Amino acid sequence: GQQLNQSPQSMFIQEGEDVSMNCTSSSIFNTWLWYKQDPGEGPVLLIALYKAGELTSNGRLTAQFGITRKDSFLNISASIPSDVGIYFCAGQLVDRDDKIIFGKGTRLHILP
């Protein structure tokens, strides 16, 4: 079935470093979503992308919808301790309007 490949699986970085993670798929999506899960909470929406090539920022976060519609990346600049958590990408399939596929998550750790 359709699946997303999200990488990396986990990251250990120093505070202040930039972070980059991405999702790729063999399927074409018409929407890409990025969710963040804080420790002890549920995944909540960070950024939604609706057009191929779209680049959207939300504070220190920037996400892009790949031109091929098969990938997306999320960058976090100048990481801070509250960026710790699990980041999930999700794609909505072209041929099934409401079907959303989630990646397996990228676990971000920030070293003191």
Positions touching another protein (CB under 8 A) are: 31, 33, 37, 40-45, 48, 86, 88, 90, 92, 97-98, 100, 102, 104-105, 107
Nearer Cβ to another protein (66/105): 105
For residues 43 and 66, which CB has a smaller minimum distance to another protein in the complex?
43
Taking the least distance from each CB to another protein, the nearer of 76 and 90 is 90
**Structure letter (DSSP) for residue 78:** S
Residues 15, 81 contacting (CB under 8 angstroms)? yes
Shortest gap between Cβ of 29 and another protein (angstroms)?
12
Burial state string for 50-84 with b = 16 or more CB within 10 A and e = fewer than 16: eebebebeeeebbbbbbeebbbbbbebeebeeebe
